Amino acid sequence: MKKFEQLPEIAKLGHVALVSKDLDKSLVFFKEVIGLEETEVVDGVHYLRAWGDFEHHTLSIAAGEESRIDHIAWRTKREEDVESFAVLLEDAGVEVTRVAAGEEAGQGEAIRFQLPSGHPFEIYYKIEKPLAGEKRRAKLKNQVYKSWAKGVSPRRIDHVNIGTNGDPSAIINFLAEKLGFKIREYIKAPDDAVVAAWMSVTPLVHDIAVMGDPTLASTQELHHLAYWSDNAQDILRAADILCEVDIKFVGPGKHGISQALYLYVIDPGSGVRVELFSNSYLIFDPDWEPVEWTMDEMDFAFTYWGDQANRPNSDQSTMFAGPLEDLVVKEPN
């Protein structure tokens, strides 16, 4: 195995690449209802970001026969880290695919690989940071677009939550040992097995969460991707906006784990769940001790108060809901 002068590091969550079986519905949902801005469209792929996202995109959407996540992308701290991760992963027996600069719009060279569960990941460093067009550009030099110009208007991408019907510890260990993620909070089963973990490389409580559930359809599921808003009032405003266009949602509520205010809503085009997320807490202590929760504390851990995230007999009652075929999004006025 090659010895590195400095181990490669992940800096942050970059973007999620989504394939939607109903692209038109997904675009109305993400652009007009959620309020993401479209950077550009290249070869049928729509590249979107929130008003406070600086990178070229934090979400891409393309049409496909079946909805799926093409990849979840992470940016490294240094340009050379991309190749270093490739070497490290290949030495560990992981199949790595090189992605040429420009193959994904706005992005430099990257690598793609799969977690032990099959979840597709991408790692990159170089990324364009285009300015907004003059009509949408913020006056503030440290902000890309005008705030709250349309729809819910979250500020930035925040995290992803993935699941598996296999052993979640295989994912958790891979993220920790190969990619440098730290466990911030976790759920332990009576047999001492870790069944879920909230992990990060930043001061956030989680850049990624991993949950195990034997009832899931596969080893590689996505529970949700999350966009962050500045405060609780933004989440209440989001609820009003979703009601106005007749889109069902779960929340608002507050998680025990992460202490965040949440609202969950499903994209009617792809069936992908989006969490609208605010508050929470930050971790700055270098000697942070992971917070342990037990199975009998799960209801309190997931929902401290408010609309139950896993309530029975609802359109989003399962942890990993599929598309809502009968849901029609109304175009906002």
Cα 197 to Cα 138, 180, 184: the distances in Å are 37, 14, 7
Say what the pLDDT of residue 325 is: 33
When the pLDDT of each residue in the chain is averaged and rounded to a whole number, the result is 91
Say what the pLDDT of residue 307 is: 79
Say what the pLDDT of residue 169 is: 95
Give, in words, the CATH class of 10-124. alpha beta
Q: How is residue 73 written in tokens?
A: 């992308």
| Low-confidence residues in the chain, pLDDT < 70 | 1-5, 309-333
Give the C-alpha separation, 100 to 299, whole Å: 45
Nearest to 246 by CA among 188, 194, 315: 315
β-strand partners of 157: 227
Pairing of strands 120-124, 68-76: parallel
Cα 154 to Cα 132, 245, 263: the distances in Å are 16, 17, 12
Give the C-alpha separation, 199 to 277, whole Å: 16
Q: How is residue 198 written in tokens?
A: 């909230």
- Which tens digits make up the pLDDT trace of 15-27? 999 999 999 999 9
**Do 10-124 and 156-306 fold alike per CATH?**
yes
Around Cβ 182, how many Cβ atoms within 10 Å?
17
Which residue type does 34 have? I
Say what the pLDDT of residue 196 is: 95
Give the C-alpha separation, 233 to 239, whole Å: 10
- Which tens digits make up the pLDDT trace of 114-140? 999 999 999 999 999 999 999 999 999
Say what the pLDDT of residue 328 is: 38
Give yes or no for a contact between 49 and 31, defined as CB atoms under 8 angstroms apart: no
Give yes or no for a contact between 73 and 15, defined as CB atoms under 8 angstroms apart: yes
Give yes or no for a contact between 127 and 56, defined as CB atoms under 8 angstroms apart: yes
Which residue type does 266 have? I
Give the C-alpha separation, 180 to 243, whole Å: 41
Say what the pLDDT of residue 6 is: 77
Say what the pLDDT of residue 73 is: 98
Q: Where are the domains of the chain?
A: 10-124, 156-306
Buried b (16+ CB within 10 A) or exposed e, 207-234: bbbbbbbeebeebbbbbbbbbbbbeeeb
Say what the pLDDT of residue 70 is: 96
CATH of 156-306, one of 3.40.50.300, 3.30.565.10, 2.60.120.560, 3.10.180.10: 3.10.180.10
**Region of residue 151 (phi > 0: left; psi between -120 and 50: alpha; otherwise: beta):** left
Say what the pLDDT of residue 40 is: 96
